[in-house]
Amino acid sequence: MRLYQITTLMAALVIHVSPSSVQAQAPAPPTNLEVTDHPWDGGKQIDLSWDLSPDDAELLRYEIYKAVAQTGPIPQKPPKFEQVDSVPAGTTSFTVDGVPFQVEMMVRDLEPHRTLFTDPPLPENQKKRLKLKVGYVFQVVAIARNGSRSTALATTAPFTPTMQWFEGSRFYFSFMTLIICGAVVFWIYRAKKGRPIKVRKIAGLEAVDEAVGRATEMGRSVLFIPGIQDINEIQTIAGLTILARVAKTAAAYGAKVEVPTSKSLVMTTARETVQAAFLEAGRPDAYNKDLIYYVTDEQFGYVAYLQGMMVREKPATCFYMGAFFAESLILAETGNSIGAIQIAGTAMPAQLPFFVAACDYTLIGEEFFAASAYLSGEPEQLGSLKGQDVGKVVVAILLLVGVLMATLGVIFDNQALLKAVAYLKETILT
């Protein structure tokens, strides 16, 4: 049965390619097509290799086709071959659904984006991804410079890609993750052992106590806004760790902290945080959970509520700590108009200018993430900052090396350097 199937398949292939492709001066096809599973992948890539056509010098390119193999006992129709890609003459291998390492591609990437599309897009380009547990057959056709096509060199049996236990294309990524995370863990461990760590002063965080103190003196409340995203956003969590400190100070001073949230899960978490802070400050009785409440998920509904509340109740201090979008400036300007001290912290680069313009202090990006460690003063938390610096050194070295190589490569037109840059970009950093 199996033999029958393959023979039928071969017959089908011949029928499929013969009418249009065999022409007067058709080049000889490539030979010896081998199919192997791509190592270290999620089971969606297959490697092809072949020996060059004897007419390779006359060729323009090789075209690669794939088709899903027929699995039924009796094939109903010939397999439908789709072009996967094409490679220049002289190439002897191709990874279906992988990028062959080609200098041309890399040089193209270094040029402005327009050139990316000057090549005619391949038909059915989007369909080349393979599926797990599906058998495939392949064809390679040689195309001569005059446009004539060779007969197709086809695989003899269906080939099914297999899944490995590790995604090899992410090997470098995992390596870098390990270095950076390892550095963080290492320094946390070092700090635990009692090695002192020096952290530069962050003005915005130094001002937290003063800002809460001012609200207490004025007999007004402290408004804390933990951004407009849910608890799965790391910025919201970073904001809540700052809330823990703000609430603790407020509890000690006897000030009122109000936390309107735009997500109910954030409300629940903020309640836990504030309650713990009040407990730690020795004032569990002063905790009022009704001051931490949900407003609405709707971005501008939330903003409208906050604006109204700020204008009516005139909090003396406003904290904006979390992920913010268009509302950043609306909130900060309203706060400014009521004369509140304002401290903002966010990792949204687009909103930073607005906060910087309208607030007294702004924690920019990583300062915001460092806040929890900085405020807690716990050595193990501070250790994580040191670990982060190791990450920065790695990034800086990679940047310098990459920029230097790319620049020199372009200036001296050195293919080896450009190849290395492409390897850095395409393989190591993806």
Give the whole-angstrom CA distance, residue 88 versus residue 95: 14
Whether the CB-CB separation of 422 and 109 falls below 8 Å is answered with: yes
Closest distance of CB 112 from another protein, Å: 7
Q: CB nearer to another protein: give 148 or 294.
A: 294
Q: CB nearer to another protein: give 27 or 38.
A: 38
Cα 164 to Cα 37, 44, 167, 169, 421, distances in angstroms: 10, 10, 7, 12, 28
Tell me which residue has tokens 């990792």: 347
Helix (H) or strand (E) holding 47: strand 46-51
Closest distance of CB 394 from another protein, Å: 9
Give the whole-angstrom CA distance, residue 315 versus residue 258: 9
Phi-psi region of 40 (alpha: psi -120 to 50; beta: other; left: phi over 0): left
Give the whole-angstrom CA distance, residue 406 versus residue 17: 44
Q: CB nearer to another protein: give 13 or 323.
A: 323
According to DSSP, residue 22 is labeled B
Closest distance of CB 283 from another protein, Å: 13
Q: CB nearer to another protein: give 55 or 258.
A: 258
According to DSSP, residue 284 is labeled G
Tell me, rounded to whole angstroms, the distance of Cα 408 from its chain centroid.
Answer: 29
Query: In the Cβ-directed half-sphere of 370, how many Cα atoms lie within 13 Å?
Result: 22
Give the whole-angstrom CA distance, residue 136 versus residue 161: 8
Q: CB nearer to another protein: give 17 or 246.
A: 246
Closest distance of CB 214 from another protein, Å: 21
Closest distance of CB 387 from another protein, Å: 6
Question: Six-digit token pair at 373?
Answer: 């460690």
Q: CB nearer to another protein: give 151 or 342.
A: 342
Closest distance of CB 305 from another protein, Å: 8
Q: CB nearer to another protein: give 22 or 116.
A: 116
Closest distance of CB 136 from another protein, Å: 16
Cα 19 to Cα 16, 84, 152, 400, distances in angstroms: 7, 21, 12, 56
DSSP secondary structure, 386-408, as one string: HHHHHHHHHHHHHHHHHHHHHHH
According to DSSP, residue 159 is labeled B
Q: CB nearer to another protein: give 14 or 44.
A: 44
Tell me, rounded to whole angstroms, the distance of Cα 90 from its chain centroid.
Answer: 36
CB count in 10 Å sphere of residue 270:
29
Closest distance of CB 76 from another protein, Å: 17
3-state secondary structure of 19: helix
Closest distance of CB 201 from another protein, Å: 18
Give the whole-angstrom CA distance, residue 15 versus residue 129: 26
Closest distance of CB 151 from another protein, Å: 28
Q: CB nearer to another protein: give 117 or 196.
A: 117
DSSP secondary structure, 145-201, as one string: TTS-BPPPEE-SS-B-----SS-GGGHHHHHHHHHHHHHHHHHHHHHHTT-------
Whether the CB-CB separation of 115 and 107 falls below 8 Å is answered with: no
Closest distance of CB 204 from another protein, Å: 15
Q: CB nearer to another protein: give 13 or 215.
A: 215
Whether the CB-CB separation of 29 and 148 falls below 8 Å is answered with: no
Q: CB nearer to another protein: give 6 or 329.
A: 329
